[in-house]
Amino acid sequence: MSGPTVLFYHGVTEKPSEPNVSTLHHSEGEFAAQMAFLTRYFNVISMETLEKKLVSNGHVSSRDIVLTFDDGFKNNLTHAAPIVDEYSLTPTLFISTEHINSGRRYPTFIVRAGIWHLDQKEIFLETIQSRYLLTPELKKQFAIKDILSRLKQGSIHLARQLTEEIESLLTPARWQELNSIYYSEEVLNWEEVKLLADSGWEIGSHCKDHAILNGSNGQEAINEQVRESKAQITSILDDCKYFSYPNGEMGYVSEIARAEVERSGYSLAFTAQAGDLQGSLDRWLLPRRLAPKTVPHLFSVLQSSVLYRAQHRRWVESLMFKK
């Protein structure tokens, strides 16, 4: 039987927008329906309760569910929080501290919005030495997918360069317009993070720069991302015990990253690799399930997590024993 399961969301907004640009958010109706479903049929527990059970090898129920949010979108406060408050739930929010500091949108949004709204028929990106056709729309969709793949597989430095190059393709005025159109992509500031923390949300780290801690990055770069984010959150909120890997799927988390997360003093760390919390687990490579958009699909996800258990275990073992 599947479970318990850690679910992860990103944002909650009034209604979906352009699906080729803003892909991460649930509508208010979808999210409210899922919270009603989960509280009626499952036992939604806090991250602290989960930690106590895992550390002490205590009883975990197949009906236990933990709610998490990645990134730190402003709509977590304005749209998600009122709904979870209605059900007295306490999610965990993983934030990328440099984005909270600067208000800068996330790299994946910059790639999607920048490429989707270009008027050119083709572009050449110096950073990755690649040319892309942008008409018809199918070509533009392919370009976005390929650029995002390069960004996720590359180093933190390459991702930063690539994002800056794509930003330069549109004027500041055009970016201001796109930021207004895609307001659901706006990130929280520290005062808003504090409001969520004061209301009971647990705040964890999602790296300093939403960096993907893959094998293209060395010890020093990973150390900066993992430790500096924890230090800043702790300095502002007094504590930061939990971590989630940006794009933390198979191939995007290195053995160096896993070791550094443990050394940095995090109690639990979460991937985006599917699975449930049964059997022998590595507390710094825990599985999660991405929450789908509909209740029937959510029920299917929760029932099927057991199917990914062995795959997740093999992946963890490959990182732990990699030479």
- Tens-level pLDDT at each residue, the chain (323 residues): 677 999 999 999 987 777 889 888 999 999 999 999 999 999 999 999 999 988 887 677 889 999 999 999 999 999 999 999 999 999 999 999 999 999 999 999 999 999 999 999 999 999 999 999 999 999 999 999 999 999 999 999 999 999 999 999 999 999 999 999 999 999 999 999 999 999 999 999 999 999 999 999 999 999 999 999 999 999 999 999 999 999 999 999 999 999 999 999 999 999 999 999 988 899 999 999 999 999 999 999 999 998 999 999 999 999 876 64
Check whether residue 228 and residue 260 sit in a common domain: yes
**Residue that finishes a domain, picked among 136, 151, 181:** 181
Check whether residue 314 and residue 233 sit in a common domain: yes
pLDDT score at 285: 97
Domain hosting 139: range is 107-181
pLDDT score at 323: 43
Check whether residue 27 and residue 128 sit in a common domain: no
What's the DSSP call for residue 286?
B
pLDDT score at 319: 87
Check whether residue 201 and residue 217 sit in a common domain: yes
pLDDT score at 153: 96
Q: How many structural domains comprise the chain?
A: 2
Length of the chain: 323
**Cα–Cα distance for residue pair 263/281, rounded to 1 Å:** 17
pLDDT score at 45: 96
- Residue 115 sits at φ, ψ, to 5 deg, of -70, -40
**Residue that finishes a domain, picked among 137, 152, 181:** 181
**Cα–Cα distance for residue pair 20/17, rounded to 1 Å:** 9
pLDDT score at 58: 64
Rg (CA), the chain: 19
**Cα–Cα distance for residue pair 63/270, rounded to 1 Å:** 19
Cβ neighbour number for residue 251 with a 10 Å cutoff: 13
**Cα–Cα distance for residue pair 140/116, rounded to 1 Å:** 7
Check whether residue 146 and residue 202 sit in a common domain: no
**Cα–Cα distance for residue pair 241/237, rounded to 1 Å:** 11
Check whether residue 202 and residue 308 sit in a common domain: yes
